Amino acid sequence: MTLAMAPYMLAFLIFVVGLYAIVAKRNLIKVIVGLLILDYAANLLLVLVGYRTPAEGAPVAPILVGGAEKAADLAASAVDPLPQALVLTSIVIGLSVTALVVALAIRLHEKYGTFDTGLMRNLKG
Amino acid sequence: MDPVLLLLLVLLGFMLAGSLIAVETRDLLSSVICVGAVGFGTSLVFLLLGAPDLALTQVVVEILVLVVLVRVVITRRDETHATSRATLPVGLVLLALGVMAAIVFGTLATGEDEGLTMRPFGDPLLNEQAEASVMAPAGEKAPEGAPARMPKSAGGAFLAHGLSESQGSRGTGAANYVMGILLDYRAYDTLGEATVVFVAVLGVYAVLRKVGRSRHAGNESDR
């Protein structure tokens, strides 16, 4: 374990906080909040894995500026574009999942008048 | 110490604090606003790590989520804390923490075996190159005119060939490599994403519709 692993460690911790909220909380809104945190942490970890420390200056985004003759320089210095493309998809899908879960929570509140899963009597298993 | 790493650790610490408060606070509105802070922190981290497309998307998504959640929380009563709170047994919590620590340390420990451990932060597989003959498909030779050394990772290959026309039809010509991957190499993936969003919208409509909900219009408790 070195300092170079500290960002991964923190992303894992945020992930675990979200997981805890999903497993242990009774309030549906808290469960949704946990799901959101989990989502952010997973996306973050993927982007962290693709990061490349620049030789000098700020990190280089994988966007070509200044014509095709700069392409070789960019390939040698830019961060990984592949995790970014996949995470972009993941963020949008996370939004859809959240919208669906929020709709279900609204519907349950309509029916039972509470967000507390312990008070939704018909859900007891 | 690298200033980027320092700023990154500060932002990640902010996100961790925000998520802890969001999970543990009693007021639901505070909880939702804290999760918004975590989302905007994510956006800043993306910007810091050289991912401007992700940062923009994250801001838009975060605003949408925040508006919807605040709207849900602010108009509805909640009595969760009126009842006694279920507590987890201490032994179970300790067991879970132990398993988590084992997984995290097992994943992050920098060991001798390259294939099983994560590479250190800031040194991705992108930095590795291999001989072209090693990277060619089994039983074939490297193509004529190919460079002697080729990138070892898929991301490196996208960066190396994303723009060029010399490698056959591999190049997209897009200046933004992320968009080149998303809309050209992996276009079916993006089509599937659009399908998922469409199905989610249909699901929200089906769950929340008012018309045609109940056959027993008079019986309110049966809804």
Give the confidence band of A122 by pLDDT, cuts at 50, 70, 90: low
Domain coverage including residue B43 = 1-75
- As a whole number of angstroms, the distance between CA A8 and CA B122 comes to 11
Residue of A34, A62, A68 with shortest CB distance to B178: A62
Is B136 inside any structural domain?
yes
Interchain proximity B155–A50, CB inside 8 Å:
yes
How much is the pLDDT for B98? 82
- As a whole number of angstroms, the distance between CA B180 and CA B200 comes to 26
Where do the DSSP E strands lie in chain B? 129-131, 149-151
Q: How far is B143 from chain A (nearest CA, A)?
A: 20
**Which residues 20-59 of A have a C-beta within 8 angstroms of B?**
20-21, 24-27, 29-30, 32-34, 36-37, 40, 43-44, 47-53, 58-59
Residue of B160, B176, B208 with shortest CB distance to A103: B208
How much is the pLDDT for B134? 63
Q: How far is A124 from chain B (nearest CA, A)?
A: 15
Residue of B79, B120, B203 with shortest CB distance to A2: B120
How do residues B2-60 score in pLDDT, each as one tens digit?
A: 888 899 999 999 999 999 999 988 889 999 999 999 999 999 999 999 899 999 999 99
Q: What is the mean pLDDT of residues B141-158?
A: 71
**Which residues 50-109 of A have a C-beta within 8 angstroms of B?**
50-53, 58-65, 68, 71, 74-75, 78-85, 87-89, 91-100, 102-107, 109
- As a whole number of angstroms, the distance between CA A19 and CA B3 comes to 31
Is B92 inside any structural domain?
no
Residue of B23, B86, B105 with shortest CB distance to A34: B23
Is B139 inside any structural domain?
yes
How much is the pLDDT for A120? 79
- As a whole number of angstroms, the distance between CA A118 and CA A88 comes to 36
Which one has a higher pLDDT value, B167 or B22? Answer: B22
Q: Does residue B115 surpass a pLDDT of 70?
A: no
Q: Using N-to-C axis directions, what is the helix angle for A6-24 and B3-24, rounded to 10°? A: 10
- As a whole number of angstroms, the distance between CA B51 and CA B96 comes to 34
Give percent of chain B with pLDDT exceeding 90. Answer: 35
Is the same domain home to B130 and B204? yes
| Chain A positions in Cβ-Cβ contact with residue B183 (cut-off 8 Å) | none
Q: Does residue A75 surpass a pLDDT of 50?
A: yes
Residue of A nearest to B160 (CA): A75
Q: Does residue B153 surpass a pLDDT of 50?
A: yes
Is the same domain home to B8 and B67? yes
Between the two ends of chain B, the Cα-to-Cα distance in Å is 61
Which of A16, A30, A104 to mutate: most B Cβ within 10 Å? A30
Q: Does residue A116 surpass a pLDDT of 80?
A: yes
How do residues A56-72 score in pLDDT, each as one tens digit?
A: 778 888 888 877 777 77
Torsion angle in degrees (nearest 10) through CA of B70, B73, B74, B77 = 180
- Residues with Cβ within 8 Å of residue B157, at least 6 apart in sequence: B150, B151
Which one has a higher pLDDT value, B154 or B84? Answer: B154
Cβ contact A107:B209 at 8 Å: no
What's the number of domains chain B is made of? 2
What is the interface size between A and B, counted as CB pairs within 8 Å? 272
By the CB < 8 Å criterion, does B95 face chain A? no
Where do the DSSP E strands lie in A5-86? none
Give the confidence band of B151 by pLDDT, cuts at 50, 70, 90: confident
Is B166 inside any structural domain?
yes
Interchain proximity B46–A34, CB inside 8 Å:
no
- As a whole number of angstroms, the distance between CA B216 and CA B109 comes to 62
Is the same domain home to B130 and B192? yes
By the CB < 8 Å criterion, does A8 face chain B? yes
Which one has a higher pLDDT value, B191 or A55? Answer: B191
- As a whole number of angstroms, the distance between CA A125 and CA A107 comes to 20
Domains contained in chain A, CATH given: 3-123 (1.10.287.3510)
Q: Does residue B129 surpass a pLDDT of 90?
A: no
Residue of A nearest to B176 (CA): A63
Is B82 inside any structural domain?
no
For the record, the structure tokens of B171 come out as: 């190049």
Is B112 inside any structural domain?
no
In degrees, rounded to 5, the angle at the alpha carbon of residue B69 between the alpha carbons of residues B66 and B75 is: 130
Cβ atoms within 10 Å of B178's Cβ, excluding its own = 27
Mean pLDDT (chain A) is: 86
Interchain proximity B61–A8, CB inside 8 Å:
no
- As a whole number of angstroms, the distance between CA B179 and CA B181 comes to 5
How much is the pLDDT for B222? 45
Cβ contact B6:B51 at 8 Å: no
Interchain proximity B12–A7, CB inside 8 Å:
yes
